[in-house]
Structure 1
């Protein structure tokens, strides 16, 4: 499973996960950082990649919402706890909880969205 990390998550974290043998890509390492969200998601349509973001507002943007609903983009949104963490606590969180997140993501179907909670559990969050 390949994880595609949004620009609002440090690319260092994606690279750290790669060193831990997780297939992770930082968005800014693949496409220009100013690419609109809906275009990023269109590139991921039907790809099997899991988009990981801290941008929960994406679920309310009309254009992005349509892409998420209609293009089978699998997405993990960090819960609000993520907004308050600095780089080192984020890295510690990732090394501690990513195996749980990965296990959950492995069971997700294409097009499903979920929220990652502070303790590493995940809950499905339909785009409505």
Structure 2
């Protein structure tokens, strides 16, 4: 299972989650920053198109709602990816608070990604919250 961390989140979070995931019961979890595979300034439609072309099954974690264009939303819908979008309230938190909260959410994100295909969810800030399914 592969997770792509979008450029709007720190690549350090991707590396940390990758290392932490090695301790999971499923060691096949790989986490990488978007910029590790694509140019840092790659447009969403470029990397989404590339992932769709490879048929690679991945999940995306982003702070972006992917609402820039109808074409981008359509590509996201047809890409075969699971998408986890951080609720807007994450942006107002400090880097360390975001990191701690993301680590807390991470096992639930892995479980959800394993249980579904081609779905999109909003990840609330509060850990007592639940995933909210969203339409792209």
TM-score, normalization: structure 1?
0.88
1:44 Cα deviation from its structure 2 partner: 2.1
Cα distance per residue 1:56-87 (max 9 Å; x no partner): 1x135222112012232321111112111222
1:64 corresponding residue in structure 2? 72
2:123 corresponding residue in structure 1? 116
Whether the aligned pair in 2 keeps the contact of 1:79 and 1:117 (CA below 8 Å) is yes
1:116 Cα deviation from its structure 2 partner: 0.9
Task: Give me the whole-angstrom Cα distance separating, in 1, the residues matched to 2:57 and 2:126.
Answer: 25
Distance change (3 Å), C-alpha of 1:82 and 1:106? same
TM-score, normalization: structure 2?
0.83
1:23 corresponding residue in structure 2? 30
Task: Give me the whole-angstrom Cα distance separating, in 1, the residues matched to 2:79 and 2:36.
Answer: 23
Task: Give me the whole-angstrom Cα distance separating, in 2, the residues matched to 1:85 and 1:61.
Answer: 27
Task: Give me the whole-angstrom Cα distance separating, in 2, the residues matched to 1:44 and 1:123.
Answer: 25
Unaligned runs of 5+ in 2: 23-28
Unaligned runs of 5+ in 1: none
The yes-or-no answer on 1:49 pairing with 2:58 is: yes
